[in-house]
Structure 1
Amino acid sequence: MSLDLAALTAAVTAHGAVVRVLVAATAGSAPRDPGTAMLVWEDGQSGTIGGGALEHEAVTAARDMLAAGRATAQRRLPLGPALRQCCGGAVTLVWERFDEAALPGAVPRARPMGPAGDMPATVARRLREMRPGAAPALLDGWLVEAAPPEVRPLWVWGAGHVGRAIVSVMAPMPGRAITWIDLSPDCFPDAIPGNVTAIPAAAPEALMRRAPVEADHLILTRDHDLDLALCHAALHHGFASCGLIGSATKWARFRSRLSALGHSNALISRIACPIGDTSLGRDPQAIAVGVASALLKGGNEKMTRDRAV
């Protein structure tokens, strides 16, 4: 993943000097992919680069940097020989110390890992050509990082048990901007994650036209009539994918009613119902795990569909 400027700025504001530990490259089997990062400060940390001996070594080195005031470091760690981990591959880590004066202005960016000098032409070319979300690159003594990937919108309709479970699972995932809608403010929990926008609305279906057409939707309200109105609005508006909570019986009735409202069978079939992986059970957390798995694989259209067609 790309440099999270907001998280880095918040950590520096809260803790002063912070070291970012980045997985810059991997070879063979490794616990996390290039671009994975964590933040370390004097008495705490956030994120993970895979845990175990690798993370312990990384955190120790980061705190040594904080104590010594060093700006950057780079090291290739063979996981088996050096750390006695079973992965068998190797990880190249980059440590960068940031304080308020050293915060980067934007990404994409290129930074020398040693004494500052003119940017090599090879680095400038890579910086221009890197696609958003691409893995970082170590090139001619410089670290090159891409702009973040486009954020994919997820609209969650309903803040009941399943809605809360899904938001709690999806909110920490990178690359998601979540809009959460229910009837009134007291429907939502007291604590809302930072990347979640909670919107109380007396007529939620009227908000459908505000959703990006590339959004994923999850319709999870307590009211079947409202669920139907939201499905009807979604089919008119357009979406990347749409999932509806319910049973095969509910979906059969909804298909009939949506057909009576003028929607074609092909269009109606773009809505997935039930959602998640039915083999995991009906517990809200189990549904949330199945839904998250489907979304990470590309969208609600990947969800199990135990329904009449």
Structure 2
Amino acid sequence: MEVWPRIASLIATDGACALVSVMATRGSVPRGPGARMIVRPDGAFYGTIGGGTLEWQALAKAQALLERRDDAVLLLDQPLGPALGQCCGGHVTLAVERFGAGDRDAVIRLAEAEKAGPFRTRTTLRGGRFEREMIESAPATAGEAPPFVEAFGESLPVVALFGAGHVGKALVLALAPLPFRVFWHDGRPGAFPAAVPANASLVAGPPEAALAALPDGAQILVMTHSHALDLAVVTAALAAGRFAHVGLIGSATKRARFIRQLGALGLGEVAAARLRCPIGLPGLAGKEPAVIAASVAAECLILAQSRTINAKPAHRRHSA
């Protein structure tokens, strides 16, 4: 979850907000150290520390802190058992911090660092408040008693989507709340909607150039308006040999045709082993764009976790 840019924005719009952080855990718990939730004065919030009574009580503590304008850090030591009615049985230490106009400069520095990429801070409890010093590198020790190291920002896996048709538009929306950076390409004028999710970037230029600009390990999903263009993108992606997965929307018949055509280009073995077509999870029969998008987004999550590029797809049902 984006932390410091969100806090900076809320200071500007709402005057203040609270940050709830999981600092340490023992035993079975919903979320580990580093899980965070940002709370607005009106009770709306972003992120989660695991839900249930623990989160509900943390929200109440954060709102109370905002109402009394107390800048002191609240440290909450909470067993998850009969006292909360949660059956996890573990133990969580939470920190609740208030940020207001007086913190603007420090928050903006941290927000700029987070926008630039993942970073760490050495965090010390001093005078009832946390002081954060950005550091170059340090072991991840979140969960230790202050001073300790916190990690902010994420190196998110990349999904590159080629095609802005009905399924492409639905898939971008399905990926919007998920932990991905999405690069979206379509060369047709007016193909993209007026607004796109925050985690999606529109890519111009020829598809070969778009592929060349992608980081190693990206997932490629091809669903353009043209089978000839599909073939060109798939060919370039497979020939590059540096992408985690290459997926093509279509039927088993389309896959067989593409394998034959790629074989004529000398990529038959690579395509047979690495081309995912059809795409999506098995067992979902619906062909509505939103259903296909949900299936493909779930598969993207599984592939991002497994990073098993040679796994053969199970029987899938979605086709162009």
- For the aligned pair, the TM-score class normalised by the smaller chain equals 0.7 to 0.9
Match for residue 144 of structure 1? Answer: 149
Unaligned 5+ runs, structure 2: 114-118
For residues 184 and 285 of structure 1, do their structure 2 counterparts lie closer, same or farther at Cα, with a shift above 3 Å needed?
Answer: same
**What is the aligned-residue RMSD (CA, Å)?**
2.9
Distance (whole Å) between structure 2 residues aligned to residue 291 and residue 135 of structure 1:
35
Which digits, 9 at most, give the CA deviation of each residue in 1:129-173, with x for residues without a partner?
A: 32xxx572232x334202534232221111223222322222222
For residues 127 and 182 of structure 1, do their structure 2 counterparts lie closer, same or farther at Cα, with a shift above 3 Å needed?
Answer: closer
Calculate the TM-score normalised by the size of structure 2: 0.81
For residues 72 and 92 of structure 1, do their structure 2 counterparts lie closer, same or farther at Cα, with a shift above 3 Å needed?
Answer: same
Distance (whole Å) between structure 1 residues aligned to residue 92 and residue 136 of structure 2:
23
Paired residues of 1:35 and 1:135 also in contact (CA < 8 A): no
Unaligned 5+ runs, structure 1: none
Distance (whole Å) between structure 2 residues aligned to residue 109 and residue 282 of structure 1:
47
Paired residues of 2:250 and 2:277 also in contact (CA < 8 A): yes
Match for residue 232 of structure 1? Answer: 235
Confirm or deny that 1:250 pairs with 2:254: yes
Task: Within 5 Å, give how 1:86-235 maps onto structure 2.
Answer: 86-99=87-100, 100-103=104-107, 105=110, 106=113, 107-115=119-127, 128-130=137-139, 134=140, 136-139=142-145, 141-174=146-179, 176-201=180-205, 203-235=206-238
Aligned length: 295
Paired residues of 1:160 and 1:187 also in contact (CA < 8 A): yes
Paired residues of 1:127 and 1:145 also in contact (CA < 8 A): no
Structure 1 position 58, deviation (Å)? 0.8
Supply the AA of the counterpart residue of 1:10.
S
Task: Within 5 Å, give how 1:44-83 maps onto structure 2.
Answer: 44-68=44-68, 69-83=70-84
Supply the AA of the counterpart residue of 1:64.
A
Match for residue 301 of structure 2? Answer: 296
Structure 1 SS opposite 2:190? helix
Which digits, 9 at most, give the CA deviation of each residue in 1:198-230, with x for residues without a partner?
A: 2355x4344322222322111112221111111
For residues 38 and 250 of structure 1, do their structure 2 counterparts lie closer, same or farther at Cα, with a shift above 3 Å needed?
Answer: same
Structure 1 SS opposite 2:30? coil
